[in-house]
Amino acid sequence: MQTGRLIVLTGPSGVGKGTLLRSLLARHPELHLSISVTTRPPRPGEVHARDYYFVDHSRFREMVENGELLEWAEFALNCYGTPREPVENMIREGKSVILEIELAGARQVRETFPDALQVFILPPREGELERRIRSRGQDSEAAIARRLQRAKEEIAAAQEFDIQIVNDDLDTALHDIEAALFSPLQP
């Protein structure tokens, strides 16, 4: 039986990870997205076990203490993590699993899954990242400043990753990700 593969996708907020991931999954149904667990309440339209596993803080702490998470982090007073068992089961079944996670989580996964393919998505330029974050129209000036500062710190860590892909053009970036995932390994 073929062994599956773990793929970690990360990059700063506003870089287009979600858009790239949705396109990648639509084009490659053989890829499986890991569903994260979170303590935040569901947003309108979100469904438990489809979008996230929604749990309370007590259950989340229990999951951390019992080693049930591959990685976890706290962000904006809520906790997020990757349940270990479903990911390990899919990999054992020969499936390729993608985690879309933050830098700290990617570093945690690197410790437990050193063979995971780690992909970092970069903005074409800092000004473009700021434009994308502002165009969302969701954040205050203070929140935008925090996101941009965090993005600088994350971008500084891009060289830690196996592959860095610049998302200047969606189709080109998608093609680059596909080449990284599906091209035969070079000797």
Domain map (residue ranges) of the chain: 5-182
- Which tens digits make up the pLDDT trace of 22-62? 999 999 999 999 999 999 999 899 999 999 999 999 999 99
CB atoms within 10 A of CB 117: 17
What's the chain look like in SS3?
CCCCEEEEEECCCCCCHHHHHHHHHHHCCCEEECCCEECCCCCCCCCECCCEEECCHHHHHHHHHCCCEEEEEEECCEEEEEEHHHHHHHHHCCCEEEEECCHHHHHHHHHHCCCCEEEEEECCCHHHHHHHHHHHCCCCHHHHHHHHHHHHHHHCCHHHCCEEEECCCHHHHHHHHHHHHHCCCCC
- Which tens digits make up the pLDDT trace of 87-96? 999 999 999 9
Pick from 75-79, 108-112, 143-147 the range whose average pLDDT is largest.
108-112
Closest CA to 49 of 64, 38, 61: 38
Confidence of residue 2 (pLDDT cuts 50, 70, 90): low
CATH architecture of 5-182: 3-Layer(aba) Sandwich (3.40)
CB atoms within 10 A of CB 177: 23
pTM: 0.88
